[in-house]
Amino acid sequence: MPNASLTLVSHPLCPFVQRAAIVLLEKGVSFDRIDVDLAAKPDWFLALSPTGKVPLLKVTQADGADAVLFESMAICEFLEETHGGVRLYSDDALTRARQRGWIEFGTATLADAWQYLNATDRPTADAKQAAFRDRLQRLEAVVEGPYFGGVAFSMVDAVFAPVFRYFDILDPTISQPTFEGFTRVSAWRAALGARPSVRAAAAKDYAARFRQHLHQHRALLAA
């Protein structure tokens, strides 16, 4: 859709928004970005979002008509199907299905990481850290390096990059033990953190915002 104008409706801390932003940046697609306050959702946003969540992608077509997409992977797959540039899914059906499976695993990994990071008591933090490390152990066995499937950056990488970003912000005394023993995953995390699209997908004040979030929620890891 070369004549379409794209607007990404966002929240500065949302990892699902970052997925879509990474794909847009990887493909070299120009887009506008609008942040909304999810604590005081504006009426125009609620009218557009069936779930009340971000991201949304507003697609303004050549005839002026707008279409609004929701759910991050629906947006990412739309961009993959309609824009050129780097291909983020394999042309091979079996590999592509495998990629989609690991994307689902990535969403569950994000949930474990988020619960660990936001835990307010030690038993919960320890349990969620263990659950997250179990997922890292699974990944350690399949990551090829430098990216998930080898030398080519893929949709799987776009999904995991926002998860790993959290741990780049934490004090190393917290993040290092979490990734201890996972050599391949740690190298993958470093490669993702250095990629321009991943770096540009979050606002420059993202780290400060995330630390503020942890303090406001009295998370143990904010100390």
Positions marked active-site: 14
Report the alpha-carbon distance of residue 57 to residue 107 in Å, rounded: 20
Report the alpha-carbon distance of residue 124 to residue 62 in Å, rounded: 51
Residue showing tokens 């659950």 = 131
Contacting residues for 3 by C-beta, under 8 A, at least 6 apart: 61, 62
Report the alpha-carbon distance of residue 185 to residue 168 in Å, rounded: 14
